[in-house]
Amino acid sequence: MTDISTETRSVVIEREIPFPSEKIWRALTQPHLIQEWLMTSDFKPAVDHRFSFNADWGSVDCKVLEVEPNKTLSYSWDAYGLESTVTWTLTPTGTGTHLRMEQSGFRPDQRQAYGGARSGWTQFLGNLEQVLARIE
């Protein structure tokens, strides 16, 4: 029998983006660019680096888990009782890059956080595409 309390859900958003993965990688890993589409942070693309995302509503405590330049970026995302992992996967395509964002680790009792993440990440990725269109 499965223990329901240990089952978790993920938010997954995938986009086809008409830019090379190197350009998207910069927007995912350079603090001055991250600030334009997500939040202010002291992010560094180095495994075990601890950093925070800060917004007017509070902050998120994070730790870099995996870095494979232009391919994979993963970090913990802990805030208000939510202990989750955000993983970015970049796959080159004929017309740009397939970008996949997964935030995993939502418990069944975290419906509000899950719903907030679904709408939040959709908005963040829209912002990211605007930043990518603007930067060289």
Instruction: Assess contact for 98 and 14: CB atoms under 8 A.
Output: yes
Number of domains into which the chain is organized = 1
Q: Would you state the pLDDT for residue 111?
A: 94
Torsion of CA 110, 64, 21, 38, to 10 degrees: 50
Q: What confidence tens digit (pLDDT) does each residue in 4-50 have? A: 556 899 999 999 999 999 999 999 999 999 999 999 999 999 999 99
Domain holding 102, by residue range, is 9-134
Element (H, E) at 59: strand 58-68
What pLDDT shows up at residue 5? Answer: 54
Question: Given its phi and psi angles, is residue 120 left (phi above 0), alpha (psi -120 to 50 degrees) or beta?
Answer: alpha
2 within a domain of the structure (yes/no): no
The pTM of this model reads 0.93
* CATH number, position 38: 3.30.530.20
